C-alpha cells in the first residue's frame, strides 16, 4: 500500500480506527476524516506509534453539516494528488426522538447516507485520478430489517424509530453502491460490506432499549480488529480492486435483501439524493447501441 492514499471517515474510533491503523501499517498515506479534534489526535498518535511512517493526516468535519463536508473535501482535494481508497465508514444510530441536521435532513439519513453520497461526489475527481480507484461503503446486515419507503426516507410521515431509521440508512448504503458501480468508469470500483456485530462504541450512548441491548450484547460481539477485516480486505486485496457493486460479509460476496438488489430503488434513491443536496452527480451511462 506504499504509494496509496486512503481517506477514511470515522477513523478515530472502532472499525474505522483499526482500518486506518492497519492500512497505515501497510504503508498507506491515511487521511482520517473525523468530527472531534481531540479524539482524532489521540487516534492519530496511536497509529503513528505503530505504523513506521508519518503519512497520517486529520481533516475535521461533522458529517451532519454539508458545509463542513464541503470544506473538508476542499482541503483533501487541495492536499491530495489522488485518492486510491475512499472508505465511507462513519455512521451513527439515534434514539427514538427524530432530530435533524443543520441542513434540515433527518439525522440518521443525513449522516449515514447523504454525507457519503456528497463526500464521494466532491472527492470523485481525485478517485478518478488514481490508476485503480476504490470506494468502500460500510453498511450492515441491519438493512434486512428496514421498512424501506422511498416516499418517506426521512421519517416525516411515519412514527420515528431510531433503529428503523438506521436499518433504512444502511440499505441506502447498499443501493448507493449498486448505482455508483454502474455509473463509474471501469478503473474505479465500489463495494459495500457488513463488518459483523462489533464491540465498538457504536450505539453505546443511545438511551433506551437499543443502548441497553448493545451494552448487554458486548461480551458476545467480535473485536474491532475482527470487525475491520472486511474493510481492510476490500482496500488491499485483488478482489477488492476488481469486484464492483457487490455486498461483502466475512470477506465474501453475499446477496443483500430484495429491496437492496432493486435497480429502480437504486436509481430513485440517487435522484432523490441529488435533489436534496442540490447537486448533479455522475450521469447514468448510456446503454450501448445494438
Ligand atoms: N458496531 C457494529 O456492530 C456495526 C455493525 C454493522 C455496521 N456497523 C457500521 O460500522 C461503521 C463504524 O461503526 P463502529 O462500530 O466503528 O462505531 P463507532 O466506534 O461508534 O465509530 C463510528 C465513527 O463514526 C463517527 N461519526 C458518527 N457520526 C459522525 C458525524 N456526524 N460526523 C463525523 N463522524 C461521525 C464517530 O465519530 P465520534 O467518535 O466523534 O462519535 C466514529 O468515529 C458504521 O457505519 C456502522 O453503521 C457497525
- CA–CA distances in Å: residue 37 to residues 2, 33, 93, 123, 290: 26, 10, 21, 22, 54
pLDDT of amino acid 93: 95
Residue 247 bears catalytic tag: no
| Ligand 1 mutation pick, 8, 13, 256, max ligand atoms within 8 A of CB | 13
By residue count, the chain amounts to 290
Instruction: Provide the strand spans (E) within the chain.
Output: 5-9, 29-34, 56-60, 85-88, 133-138, 188-194, 247-249, 252-254
pLDDT of amino acid 211: 81
Instruction: Provide the strand spans (E) within 97-195.
Output: 133-138, 188-194
Which letter does DSSP use for residue 113 in this model? I
pLDDT tens, per residue, the chain with 290 residues: 999 999 999 999 999 999 999 999 999 999 999 999 999 999 999 999 999 999 999 999 999 999 999 999 999 999 999 999 999 999 999 999 999 999 999 999 999 999 999 999 999 999 999 999 999 999 999 999 999 999 999 999 999 999 999 999 999 999 999 999 999 999 999 999 999 999 999 988 888 777 888 888 999 999 999 999 999 999 999 999 999 999 999 999 999 999 999 999 999 999 999 999 999 999 877 665 44
Who contacts 159 (Cβ-Cβ below 8 Å, separation ≥6)? none
Distance from the alpha carbon of residue 236 to the mean position of ligand 1, in angstroms: 21
Assigned C-alpha cell, 95: 434514539
Q: Which domains does the chain have, with CATH numbers?
A: 5-277 (3.40.50.720)
Phi/psi of residue 191, each to 5°?
Answer: -140, 160
Euclidean distance between CA atoms 181 and 263, whole angstroms: 12
pLDDT of amino acid 286: 67
Q: Do strands 247-249 and 252-254 pair parallel, antiparallel, or not at all (unpaired)?
A: antiparallel
Assigned C-alpha cell, 212: 441497553
Closest Cα to atom 7 of ligand 1: 140
Distance from the alpha carbon of residue 215 to the mean position of ligand 1, in angstroms: 16
Distance from the alpha carbon of residue 91 to the mean position of ligand 1, in angstroms: 4
Instruction: Pick the catalytic residue from 160, 166, 247, 264.
Output: 166
Closest Cα to atom 37 of ligand 1: 10
Amino acid at each position: 500500500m506504499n504509494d496509496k492514499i486512503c481517506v477514511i471517515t470515522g477513523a478515530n474510533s472502532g472499525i474505522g480506527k483499526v482500518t486506518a491503523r492497519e492500512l497505515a501499517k501497510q504503508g498507506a498515506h491515511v487521511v482520517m476524516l473525523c468530527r472531534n479534534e481531540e479524539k482524532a489526535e489521540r487516534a492519530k498518535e496511536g497509529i503513528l506509534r505503530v505504523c513506521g511512517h508519518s503519512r497520517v493526516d486529520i481533516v475535521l468535519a461533522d458529517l451532519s453539516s454539508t458545509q463542513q463536508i464541503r470544506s473538508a473535501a476542499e482541503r483533501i482535494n487541495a492536499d491530495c494528488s489522488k485518492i486510491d481508497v475512499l472508505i465511507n465508514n462513519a455512521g451513527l444510530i439515534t434514539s427514538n426522538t427524530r432530530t435533524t441536521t443543520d441542513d434540515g435532513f433527518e439525522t440518521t439519513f443525513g449522516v449515514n447516507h447523504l454525507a457519503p453520497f456528497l463526500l464521494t461526489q466532491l472527492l470523485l475527481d481525485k478517485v478518478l485520478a488514481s490508476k485503480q480507484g476504490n470506494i468502500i461503503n460500510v453498511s450492515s446486515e441491519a438493512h434486512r430489517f428496514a421498512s424501506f419507503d422511498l416516499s418517506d426516507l426521512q421519517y416525516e410521515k411515519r412514527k420515528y424509530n431510531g433503529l428503523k431509521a438506521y436499518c433504512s440508512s444502511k440499505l441506502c448504503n447498499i443501493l448507493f453502491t449498486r448505482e455508483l458501480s454502474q455509473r463509474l468508469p471501469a478503473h474505479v470500483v465500489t463495494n459495500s460490506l457488513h463488518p459483523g456485530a462489533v464491540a465498538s462504541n457504536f450505539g453505546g450512548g443511545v438511551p433506551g432499549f437499543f443502548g441497553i441491548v448493545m451494552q448487554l450484547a458486548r461480551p458476545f460481539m467480535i473485536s474491532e480488529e475482527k470487525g475491520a477485516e472486511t474493510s481492510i480486505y476490500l482496500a488491499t486485496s485483488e478482489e477488492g480492486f476488481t469486484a464492483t457493486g457487490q455486498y461483502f460479509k466475512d470477506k465474501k460476496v453475499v446477496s443483500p435483501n430484495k429491496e437492496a438488489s432493486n435497480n429502480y430503488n437504486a436509481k430513485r434513491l440517487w435522484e432523490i439524493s441529488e435533489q436534496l443536496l442540490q447537486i448533479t452527480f455522475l450521469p447514468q451511462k448510456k446503454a450501448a447501441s445494438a
